[in-house]
Structures are given as structure tokens and as C-alpha cells.
Amino acid sequence: MTAPEDKNMDELVALCKRRGFVYPASEIYGGLRGFWDYGPLGTALKNNIRDWWWRCMVDCPPIGPDGEPVAIVGLDSAIIQNPRVWEHSGHVGGFNDPMVDDKETKKRYRADHIYVFYPKNFKTEHKRFGIAVQASSREEAHKLRDELWESGKWSKVVFRAQKEFGFDPLEGAGVGAQYGDKVSDFLNVYGPNGEDIGDWDVITAEELDEEHRKYTTNLELTNFGTLTKPQMFNLMLDTYPGPIRDEDAKAYLRPETAQGIFLNFKNVLDTMRVKVPFGIAQIGKSFRNEVTPRNFIFRSREFEQMEMEFFCPPEDSQKWYDFWRDVRYKWWLSLGVAEENLILRDHDDDELAHYSSACVDVEYKYPFTAPGYGELEGVAHRGNYDLTAHSKSKEKNRDSNAKLDYFDQELQVKLQNEGVDKAEIKERSRYVPHVIEPASGLTRAVLVVLCEAFTPTPDREGSKYILSFKPKFAPIKAGVFPLVNKDGMPEVAQKLYLQLRDKWPVEYDGKQSIGKRYARMDEIGTPFCFTIDGDTLEKQLVTVRDRDTAEQETIHIDQVEAFLAQKLAE
């Protein structure tokens, strides 16, 4: 298996384009940053992951911690809702990112994505500058710093800095760092008079104080100029439904599918035979005006989410939080993701979203975060934040007409049987349910499955890459080929193709050499190819070629369907 560190994102992005998985949106007009189109194979892959999530979450959810099957129903709510929804949900006031502007280039960046390197014992009189890099974690910042250094371009920085302090750039006199030294060495030895100034700190642009800010110097590598103080920037994209275009008509494209679920909690409760605990699941598009969309489809402005809100009694919420945390981690393994590339990471208090009292992320080792990890799914304990926020309340000026609480008859009976006193029963059996929310990105899941499957095969004849999808998720399940386009082989191959096509997406290909046909199937991740050759005509034997090993075996033509069915069920 190729380690994430050894996978090149540029090569993966190029393969995705060349083989019809993902194209830049509006490409013939120069594209649009943060938007992507899914090609025929990308759509098939996305649908396969989506269907598996729906199967595991709605059609056949797991058995719960109490041994009972978990109940979850599906929903498909509108993307645009009454704008009051987003005021009460906290997204108008709280869904903000801290932004910094670059005074020289006028570009805007997320303050928590720009990392600035400063000496730990920074003193104003040192007149030392920061080195800014854009990254999504401190770990990534360090990695980026090292990569930039390895690229050799850091010589410029050294020379510039030397000049700034009056050193001769060519001789490097008085400066410990020379062109070719490791960045870490350079960072450790640098001083206005060449003295060792000790360790360097990595801080975000958000953490830059007045003193540091004065010395954010533009470095050619990173193109950061003087950074302003961070300011909050709302992430929701807005629109104006109807003919009038003024502030009162302003509505938002949903930034998460979750709110549509909370808005329909009462509808579902009243119309479906569900009782707490139960969940409502939804898959659909969400939109965020991300300031720095990047890393291919990892962070885009239009994306798809798979979210489930699980409503439970407040007193059982911890049990359900632990339950969903485990279930969701295992689900990612079921996609064929290797355990060593997947971790669970609890959020620190200062990372929690405005609605959440606890959150654990499932993180994946993407090629662009390795050896670190990046977010894939969050399992959040939302408490009763959302249902309360959307419940009618005069004092709090909440103008919805709903009371989103729940009377728990089973709990009432249980408490009665336990002899709990009447007042306490009344108090405990009517409540606003707590919510545990596993929320993941479908388009991000596509990226994870692509990254995991992407395997460079420089030594293999034909294909330079394999997309080693778990067969169940492969867009095309099998290729059916006649070895040559004569001698009655195409007719037999067509017959087999028509038989398999009835059950799965399979492809018939009779053109080009057999090696080229195999190579194409490897690159689009087709797990098996069935070739009709002389042995088929004589002995009814078909050659099966395995994508990952390139090994071939023969099976009877009557067994092909059963063979494929068994592999796809794994």
C-alpha cells in the first residue's frame, strides 16, 4: 500500500480530470474558485458512497447500545429557508471566520490558516520578521516550511534577511544559516548580529500582537505582506428570492443540512411512528463562502453533506454520543480506508462550534496533511441548542410558532415504576431532546476514497496508476472484453456483457490492444476484467484479471455472475 506521503495530489487531480471523475466548474470560462463538477465516474462514485451511507444510517441502522435496532428516518428539506432560521440558529451572528487582509496585495486570508514564525524570545529591538505560511494546522505549517526549504527557494529568504540586517548576501558573514541549511537550523541561529536567538514559535495571524504585526514582512515565497488585525467575516452565501432585491428580501443558501432537520422535528414526530430516541438523516448540498477554498475538493464553496440528528433524552445523551462516535469511525473503515490512516480526535474547548458542547472529529491522513490528519466527519453533542433556538419564546424574541419539546411516555412509566415522586416525574418526562450529530461531507468522502485508492504503479506495464477502490464502491464493476475482434469472440463477450449489465454497471470494450484496455480499467478503478478468448470458445473458460495484482485466473463462464456478486458483497 502506498503511504499518503508518497501520493502526489497534482497527479491525482490530473487523473481525476483525465478519467472523468472531477472537472473544474465552468472550465471553458476559466473556472470558478471553490466549485467543481463531478464527471460520469465521479458521479457514480459519489452515488455509491451516498447510497452506502443511506443504507447504513436510514435503511438499516445499527443495533443500539440497549440491544434495540436504532430508528432513523430520511428527509430532503429545502436549501433556502426563511432567513429567521439562520438568525435563531446562530449562523448570522456566530458563523464567522476571523479574516486578515494583506495591506499590500489587498488579498484576504483566514487568520487561523496563516502561521507566522517568530523567535520565542521575541523582542522589539531585534527587528526580526515573521515568516508567514498558509496552512490549516500548526503541523501542516511545519511541513510546508520544510517543503519550501527542500525546494531550495528559501535561499531568497536568507539573502533578503541578510541584507536587511546589513550582511553581505553572498558571503553570509555573521549568519549561521547558509543556502542549503535546514530551515530549522536557519530559524534557530538567526539574530541581528548573528547571535543565536533560540527557538522559534509558530503562531497564527490571529495571535499576532501589535509588536509582532509591525514585523510581518513580505516574503517572496509566500506573498504575504503586512497583515491587518483579524475581522469577522460571515460564511453564508446570500440570495434574493422573488422580484425585490433589498435587505428585507435577503435569504441564505444553507451552510449545513442540519437546520432543515431541526425545522422538521415536530412534523416528523407528528406524522411518522417514531419516538425518542430516533434520528433524522439528510444528504444534500450546502454552501459556504469559504475564503480559501483549497486542496482540490477538500474545501469548496458548494459541497454535499451527509448529516444525521439523533434526538435522545438528555439523561442518555452521553451514552449516545459514545455510541455514534464508535459507529461512525467503523463506517469509514467499511469504505476500505486503512485503519492507520484514520483517527478520532476530541475537540479542545476553544475549537467547539457555537452550538456544540463536545465534539470528536474523525480525521484522515490526506496526502496534503500527512504525516498529520485532516477533518472528515464531526460527531457533535449539540445538547438542546437548536430545538430551543427554534422554539417559540416571547422573552427571547423568538418568533417561531413551535414548541419543540417532547413528552416521553415510556420514561414516565419507568419513573413511576421506580417510585419517583410525581413532581420529579413531571419535570423529567417532558423535555427538549438532546441531539447527537454525526456530520460528514459526501464530497469530502469522495476525496478520501480517491486518495486512499490512488496507487502509483510506475513499474507496471500500461497503467501508471491504479484506483484501488473497494469493489463495492467502484464506478464500473467489471470490464468484458473479447481478446480479439473476430472468431466469434465479440458475440460471446456481448452476451456476457448483456447478462452482467442487467445487474451492475459494467463496460464492454473491444477496441485497442488488450493491455491498453486493462490499463484504462486500472486507472478508473474497475476491479475485474473478464476476457473471452480461445479457451472460452473451446472450454467455456473465461479469464478473470484482478486490477490490484494483475493476476489472471480462469473460471467457467456460468460462474462469472456469482463470482462478481460475491466480490461486490465483501
Q: Which three cell numbers stand for residue 150?
A: 527542500
Identity of the amino acid at 9: M
3 state SS for 259-323: HHHHHCHHHHHHHCCCCCCEEEEEEEEEECCCCCCECCCCECCEEEEEEEEEEECHHHHHHHHHH
Rounded CA gap, 358 and 364, in Å? 20
Separation of alpha carbons 329 and 373, rounded Å:
14
Question: Smallest distance, Å, CB 160 to ligand GAP?
Answer: 35
Least distance (Å) between residue 306 CB and ligand GAP: 8
Beta bridge partners, 231, equal 99
Query: Residues 3 to 32: which contact ligand GAP by CB under 6 A?
Result: none
Count CA atoms within 13 Å of residue 449 on its CB side.
Answer: 30
In this chain, which stretch among 18-26, 110-118, 374-382, 551-559 interacts with ligand GAP, using CB under 6 A?
374-382
The residue from 181, 256, 316, 363 that contacts ligand GAP (CB under 6 A) is 256
Of 192-200, 298-306, 427-435, 465-473: span binding ligand GAP (CB under 6 A): 298-306
Q: What's the min distance (Å) between Cβ of 442 and ligand GAP?
A: 8
CB 36 → ligand GAP: shortest distance, Å?
A: 10
Closest approach of ligand GAP to the CB of residue 440, in Å: 5
| CA atoms of 22 and 12, how far apart (whole Å) | 10
Least distance (Å) from ligand GAP to the CB of residue 444?
4
Q: In the complex with ligand GAP, which residue's Cβ is closer, 101 or 290?
A: 290
**Three-state DSSP class for 381?**
strand
Question: Is 305 near ligand GAP (CB under 6 A)?
Answer: yes
Out of 39, 378, 482, 527, which residue is the one contacting ligand GAP (CB under 6 A)? 378
Binding segment (CB under 6 A) for ligand GAP, from list 6-14, 42-50, 413-421, 436-444: 436-444
254 and 81 in contact (C-beta within 8 Å)? yes
Is 258 an interacting residue with respect to ligand GAP (CB under 6 A)? yes
- Binding of ligand GAP by 376 (CB under 6 A): yes
C-alpha cell at 139: 503541523
| H-helix segments, 64-191 | 84-89, 91-94, 138-150, 154-164, 183-189
Choices 224-232, 243-251, 433-441, 492-500; region in contact with ligand GAP by CB under 6 A: 433-441
Which residue, 133 or 435, is less far from ligand GAP as judged by CB? Answer: 435
Parallel, antiparallel or unpaired: strands 528-532 and 478-482: parallel
Which residue type, as a one-letter code, is found at position 56? C
The grid coordinates of residue 61 equal: 441502522
The correct pick among 307, 408, 507, 533 for binding ligand GAP (CB under 6 A) is 307
Among 97, 377, 452, 507, binds ligand GAP (CB under 6 A): 377
Residue 544 C-alpha from the chain's centroid = 35
The residue at minimum Cβ distance from ligand GAP is 441
Quick check: 103 and 110 in contact, CB under 8 A?
no
Asked if the bond preceding 169 is cis, omega within 30° of 0, the reply is no
Binding to ligand GAP by residue 441, rule CB under 6 A? Answer: yes
Measured distance CA(387)–CA(259) in Å, rounded: 10
Binding segment toward ligand GAP, per CB under 6 A, in 10-18, 138-146, 195-203, 438-446 = 438-446
Which of 111-119, 371-379, 390-398, 541-549 is the region at the interface with ligand GAP (rule: CB under 6 A)?
371-379
Please say which residue, 25 or 550, places its beta carbon nearer to ligand GAP.
Answer: 25
Tell me how far, at minimum, the Cβ of 73 lies from ligand GAP, in Å. 18
Answer for which of 101, 140, 375, 408 binds ligand GAP (CB under 6 A) is 375
Give the separation between CA 143 and CA 59, rounded to whole angstroms: 42
Determine, following the binding rule CB under 6 A, whether residue 328 of this chain makes contact with ligand GAP.
no
CB of residue 392 vs ligand GAP: minimum separation in angstroms? 23
Note whether 498 and 544 are within 8 A (CB). no
Rounded CA-CA distance 95/549 in Å is 48
**Site size for ligand GAP (CB under 6 A):** 19
Where do contacts with ligand GAP occur on this chain (CB under 6 A)? Answer: 256, 258, 288, 290, 299-300, 303, 305, 307, 375-378, 437, 439-441, 443-444
